Amino acid sequence: MKKPPTEETSPSTETTSQGLSQLDKLLEHRSRLGACVLLSDTDAMTFSSLKQLLKESDGNMGAHMRKLEDIGYVQVNKRFENRKPVTWYRLSAEGRTALKAHLEALQTIIQGARLA
């Protein structure tokens, strides 16, 4: 009688699994990740700029930015410029830390997925 095959985990499988478990669920969406990456490279950015760069509608961009704001990853500053309301976003220290950890987890996944 044949024995059923046994599952063996390779180091790359364990590495990939570890990376997957460390992903930040909030940053898994391309628009939220994109917004944090864009904000990480600048002091602040307007809602309009983020929306245009990420090719999102007003409603979608607003919903994604609200989630980032609610969790504390971005700080918001609303003011009037030339009598028009302008919303500025800045990546918070907590957001910067979360983004760094998320990108490191992605790098771990990529390294584990390399084919020989």
Q: Crossing angle for the helix pair 30-40 and 58-71, nearest 10 degrees?
A: 70
Query: Phi and psi of 29, rounded to 5°?
Result: -80, 135
Residue 26 lies in a domain: yes
Residue 74 lies in a domain: yes
**pLDDT tens profile 48-81:** 999 999 999 999 999 999 999 999 999 999 999 9
Domain region containing 65 = 14-111
Task: Check: CB of residue 41 under 8 Å from CB of residue 53.
Answer: no
Residue 84 β-bridge partners: 81
- How many domains in the chain? 1
**pLDDT tens profile 32-45:** 999 999 999 999 99
Residue 76 lies in a domain: yes
Residue 2 lies in a domain: no
CATH number, domain with residue 19: 1.10.10.10
Residue 3 lies in a domain: no
Residue 8 lies in a domain: no
Residue 102 lies in a domain: yes
Can you give the pTM of this predicted structure? 0.82
Question: Tokens at residue 18, please?
Answer: 């570890």
**How far is Cα 16 from Cα 44, in angstroms, rounded to an integer?**
34
